[in-house]
């Protein structure tokens, strides 16, 4: 499957907010498990039938906004360049690499310095709060 739609936001701050909303949706759906080391990978049950799906931060966008089927095993290579680079940007943000995320989107870069993002596995709540702080910072710079 190659998804060719371009329905993700241009601005990084808007993209983060969309991803946080999609992450919240998958967290509430028992068929999804957040695993930051898997893009979008079905988990097979003992009868070899798809039962659940593991997704990372960008994978939540694949499952939510992009509408990838829960039974599909897909990574960023299954998308056109526009989507691919936005998903890569989200993956960079997951570890606090704001400059890397801006590079993926070919956006001008203000001086960023070090931005710590609490690993999701350590605290989903702090992970979200850290990303919300990044959104505030990006909005100040109209990014």
Domain positions in the chain = 12-140
Percentage of the residues of the chain whose pLDDT score is greater than 90: 71
Say how far apart CA 45 and CA 22 lie, in whole Å: 25
Check residue 115 and give its pLDDT. 84
Mean of the per-residue pLDDT values for the chain?
A: 89
Check residue 2 and give its pLDDT. 45
Check residue 114 and give its pLDDT. 60
Tokens of 90: 């989200």
pLDDT tens for 87-133 read 999 999 999 999 889 989 988 776 665 689 999 999 999 999 999 99
What predicted TM-score, i.e. pTM, was given to this entire model?
0.89
Considering only residues 121 and 2, tell me which one the structure prediction assigns the higher pLDDT: 121
Place of tokens 């505030």: 136
Question: H or E segment at 58?
Answer: helix 57-63
């Amino acid at each position: 499957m190659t998804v060719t739609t371009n329905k993700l936001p241009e601005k990084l701050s808007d993209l983060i907010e969309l991803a946080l909303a999609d992450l919240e949706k998958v967290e509430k759906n028992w068929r999804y498990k957040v695993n930051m080391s898997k893009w979008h990978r079905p988990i097979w049950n003992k009868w070899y039938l798809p039962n659940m799906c593991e997704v990372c931060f960008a994978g939540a966008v694949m499952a939510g906004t992009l509408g990838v089927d829960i039974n599909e095993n897909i990574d960023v290579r299954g998308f056109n360049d526009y989507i691919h680079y936005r998903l890569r940007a989200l993956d960079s943000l997951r570890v606090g690499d704001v400059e890397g995320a801006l590079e993926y989107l070919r956006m001008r870069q203000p001086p960023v310095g070090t931005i710590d993002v609490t690993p999701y596995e350590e605290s989903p709540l702090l992970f979200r709060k850290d990303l919300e702080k990044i959104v505030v910072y990006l909005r100040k710079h109209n990014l």
